[in-house]
Amino acid sequence: MGISKVGIVGAGQMGNGIAHVFALAGYDVLLNDISADALEKGIATITRNLDRQVSREKITEAEKDATLARIKTTETLADLGPTDLIIEAATEREDVKNAIFESLLPHLGPDTILTSNTSSISITRLASRTDRPEKFMGFHFMNPVPVMQLVELIRGIATDEATYKTLLEVVDTLRKTAASAEDFPAFIVNRILMPMINEAVYTLYEGVGSVKSIDESMKLGANHPMGPLELADFIGLDTCLAIMNVLHDGLADTKYRPCPLLTKYVEAGWLGRKTQRGFYDYRGEVPVPTR
């Protein structure tokens, strides 16, 4: 299966990053979102990130211009139908993802591969709602996409070998590394990472340490580049909570119970960097712990 045209649903943090790396690798990209404003912001982010790569001499000015020229935008989901590969990178809600795939189905070519950038939702279940479960996979990029080297490839129970091998080759052309995961809740990275973050929130909730002491302990004591609470703010506390709920519901084990403090922060709308407040307050010049 030759892949040359790629459709991406969602121009947010993940979607624009995915568009960036595909266009830089030479693919023609059609980026979709429900609003022109979101698409404008997405292209502005891609341009900024490409400028950063030029300034660091990772790419040339000519490569930047060629990359931007390969990205087109549309507010009409059906326009993605003729592409060879579609990557859904919408919000981490199963009902939203199902609605997107349902809307796409009448417009797809017979060989179009469907994928989801979901970080935790069952690929088998998403695929079962489409007309091509054998051509459906999880295609999970890490954030920030232009920087992070890993892509998780998740086969549903019906995914065929040709689809899997095609996406392995695609990851190779992006100069990233594929990790193959089975279709169990949260796959590999988040199955391990999110309980660690959740435990850090419990450590804060129980008064074992402050935000600062917890993050400093893991950075200096375990050599993590970011503390777990700082990382949670970067990911988004709503996303962390959603993944913990998927783990808790899917595996029925109390060790995955989301910390009540994490739930409380999400209820307050303190979702991390994207709302300027989470475990840190980002409204000043320097982030300040909120507990």
- Which residues are annotated as catalytic? 119, 140, 152, 190
Q: Are 155 and 23 part of one and the same domain?
A: yes
Which tens digits make up the pLDDT trace of 198-255?
999 999 999 999 999 999 999 999 999 999 999 999 999 999 999 999 999 999 999 9
**Environment class of residue 248 by beta-carbon count within 10 Å: exposed (0-12), middle (13-18) or buried (19+)?**
middle
Distance CA(73)–CA(144), nearest Å, equals 21
| pTM (predicted TM-score) | 0.90
Last residue of a domain, one of 137, 152, 181: 181
In a domain, 147, yes or no: yes
Q: Tell me how far apart the 2 most distant CA atoms of the chain are, in Å.
A: 56
Residues 75/225, Cβ–Cβ less than 8 Å: no
206 is written with which tokens? 């129980």
Burial (CB < 10 A; 0-12, 13-18, 19+), residue 291, is middle
Q: Report the number of distinct structural domains present in the chain.
A: 2
Contact 117, 139 (CB under 8 A): yes
pLDDT tens, position by position, 58-113: 999 999 999 999 999 999 999 999 999 999 999 888 999 999 999 999 999 999 99
42 in a structural domain: yes
